[in-house]
Amino acid sequence: MIHMNEYPPTDKDDITLLAPSFGSDCDWLNEVQAASCMPVKDAIALSFVKALSKSLLDPKNKNFPEIVALGFWLRNVSCPLTAQSDAQLHKPIGLTVHFAPGNVDTMFVYSWCYGLLLGNKNIVRLASQVTPIQSALINAINALLQLPEFAQLAARNKFVQYPKTSNWTARLSAIADARVIWGGDTSVNSIRAYAAKPRTRDICFADRVSAAILNGDELDNNDKIAHTAQRLLRDTLPYDQQACSSPRMIFWQGSTSALTALLESLAELLNEQIQPSLTRANEQLVFSQYAAANNGAEVIWRGQITAIVTQQPEAVISQHLGQWCFIVIPVTQPSDIGAYITDRFQTLTYAGYQSEEIATILTAPQYTGIDRVVPIGEALDFNYLWDGIDLLSGLTRVVNVR
């Protein structure tokens, strides 16, 4: 085990400082450790976020919808916390190390943005795989950090890349006051296995699955069906339905004919958006045959998308690889979803219901899953309340003054 002051040996050649890209001669790690935190929602941080948003919304990024989405998100970022409220002071927690996910290129900015706004010092470890989106984001951040007005931020926010096998995860873990760990379960566990300070907070985002609950009885005309299909597409398109908050299961209350109409409409919309893919068609076949063989699931739709009907989604969801396979679970009333709630269950998107109806169900103490209930079409809208965690309180320390 690692002692507090005995850092595991790390090799400087192992790590690349991506941003700030200037003055790399100076010891960036000492610099960030020696600096004090900034106040919560400091004017400099707010103006940086505004400037970054503007830079990302530049027309040159229009071919990267993820970057544009991030630009809009930053423009209106929701951070309802002030440095002082009632008899409480809110202070940053210290040095936050973000272990960003490799497959969602923009995620590191969402994660870091809260660390920044809350006054923390941040080290962001980016995935080793360099992608065009990652480079564009790092370039935008670098351009801003070079400006004299953001010098204080440049000293306190570092973006790095290093191989998984290096000792840097151990080194950074040993100095972190908070670790924000984006998983896979395996990644989360492997990073948490590195020793941290006794009071280090771990904020972990592990593997989750999500579902939609749709009231088919409300979908009584073509416009409503098309609108619902459009929203469902919005929730599944960005990461080929693999994002943890994209619905893979559909709880369906209503007639088979309305369901068929919805799936048909969704398949048509998808056709307009993406090219047919050899791999996707095969994945859909593999998944539907697996589901059929495993628990007798019935394939009810095959085409650009695949839909199967089963009462035992748990038996097959582990083999679900996105790719527009929908696991349909017929229900007769919203409370029927209770039987399917596990602690892996993250987001429930809904259409044709009132949010209160759903919330009432979830108050039952036996349900350990579902952390988000949002209207259909908003599954991927990131927010400081995520996975049942409040990032604002997670990345701050509260001083109780009486």
Partner 1 sequence: MSTSTKDIQACYQQQFDALLSQPVFGLDRAAKQRLLLPLLATLTELHQQRCAGFANILGSFSNESASTIDTLPFLAVRLFKLMELKSVANEDVFRLLQSSGTTGQTPARVTLDKATSQRQSKVLVAILQQVLGKQRLPMLIIDAPATVGRDAAFSARAAGIQGLAFFGRHHTYALNDDMTPNWSAISQFCAEHGSGPVLVFGFTFMVWQYWLDALAQKNQTLNLPHGVLLHSGGWKKLEHLKVDNTAFKRTIKDFTGITAVHNFYGMAEQVGSIFMECSHGYLHAPSFADVVARDPNTLRVTGFEQQGLLQVLSAVPTSYPGHSLLTEDLGVLHGEDDCACGWKGKYFSVSGRLPKVEVRGCSDTHE
Is 182 near partner 1 (CB under 8 A)?
A: yes
**Least distance from C-beta 218 to partner 1, angstroms?**
29
Cβ proximity to partner 1, 67 vs 154, nearer residue: 67
Is position 205 an interface residue for partner 1 (rule: CB under 8 A)? yes
Select the residue interacting with partner 1 from 26, 34, 151, 293 (CB under 8 A).
Answer: 293
CB atoms within 10 A of CB 3: 8
Helix residue ranges per DSSP H, 57-167: 65-75, 107-117, 132-145, 151-156
Minimum CB–partner distance for residue 158 and partner 1 (Å): 18
Q: If binding is defined by CB under 8 A, does position 342 make contact with partner 1?
A: no
Q: Which is nearer to partner 1, 357 or 387 (CB)?
A: 387
DSSP element (H, E) containing 260 = helix 256-273
The torsion region of residue 125 among left (phi > 0), alpha (psi -120 to 50) and beta comes to beta
Type and span of the H or E element at 310: none
Instruction: Please tell me the number of Cα atoms within 13 Å of 342 on its side-chain side.
Output: 12
Residue 288 in the binding site for partner 1 (CB under 8 A): yes
Distance CA 109, CA 246 (A): 20
Rank residues 251 and 382 by Cβ distance to partner 1 and give the closer one. 382
For residue 309, state whether it binds partner 1 (rule: CB under 8 A).
no
Task: Print the binding letters for residues 101-120 with partner 1: x by CB under 8 A, - otherwise.
Answer: xxxx--x-------------
What is the spatial distance between Cα 367 and Cα 343, in angstroms, rounded to a whole number?
8
Helix (H, G, I), strand (E, B) or coil at 61: helix
Site for partner 1 (CB under 8 A): which residue of 68, 69, 292, 389?
A: 292
Residue in this structure with the two tokens 């400082």, named with its chain if needed: 17
Q: Is 128 exposed, middle or buried (0-12, 13-18, 19+ CB in 10 A)?
A: exposed
Applying CB under 8 A, which part among 22-30, 264-272, 274-282, 390-398 lies near partner 1?
Answer: 274-282
C-alpha distances out from residue 198 to 108, 181, 205, 243, 288, Å: 25, 17, 20, 32, 47
Candidates 27-35, 116-124, 298-306, 327-335: pick the segment binding partner 1 (CB under 8 A).
298-306
Taking CB under 8 A as the criterion, the residue among 164, 343, 360, 398 binding partner 1 is 164
* Residue 191 burial (CB count, 10 A): 23
Contact positions vs partner 1 (CB under 8 A):
99-104, 107, 127-129, 164, 182-184, 186-187, 190-191, 205, 207-208, 239-244, 246, 276-283, 285-286, 288-290, 292-294, 296-299, 302, 319, 321-323
